[in-house]
Amino acid sequence: MKTIALSLAAALVLAPAGAALAADPSATISIDVPGADEATSQKVTYTCGDKTVAVDYRNAGSVSLALLTIDDDFVVAANVMSGSGARYAGGKYIWWSTGQDAASLTDLMTDDQTPVDCTATK
């Protein structure tokens, strides 16, 4: 059984007496994946319109995750059914990897929910 480890950054804001104090702690989540012989990780950075999206693909057995950093958002997206390519859903985003160097990003909170084409940077 292999373990997928995820490092998650979370912001903690405390507001004593109206003053804000921000901290940026990190936490690690480990997931044991029964039947997985190995866990792999691949990091790719994409340009999606005017955004840069850093993706860390984590795979172990039947579990496939995409850790997305989009501007100041950190999202863990899980692989979901797709007709082709690898499609991930997490938070308000759909990330669809359609080839080694191409993907699309959809923000489900926008009015038109139009996917933005993304290209891997070299």
| Residue-level pLDDT, tens digit, the chain, 122 residues | 666 665 544 332 223 333 343 456 788 889 899 999 999 999 999 999 999 999 999 999 999 999 999 988 999 999 998 888 899 999 999 999 998 899 999 999 999 999 999 999 97
- The pTM of the full predicted model, rounded to 2 decimals, is 0.79
Domain that holds residue 77: 2-120
CA–CA distance, 8 with 73 (Å, rounded to integer): 11
CATH number of residue 7's parent domain: 2.40.128.200
> How many domains would you assign to the chain?
1
* Strand extents, DSSP E, the chain: 2-9, 12-14, 21-23, 26-33, 39-48, 51-60, 63-70, 73-80, 86-90, 93-97, 102-107, 116-120
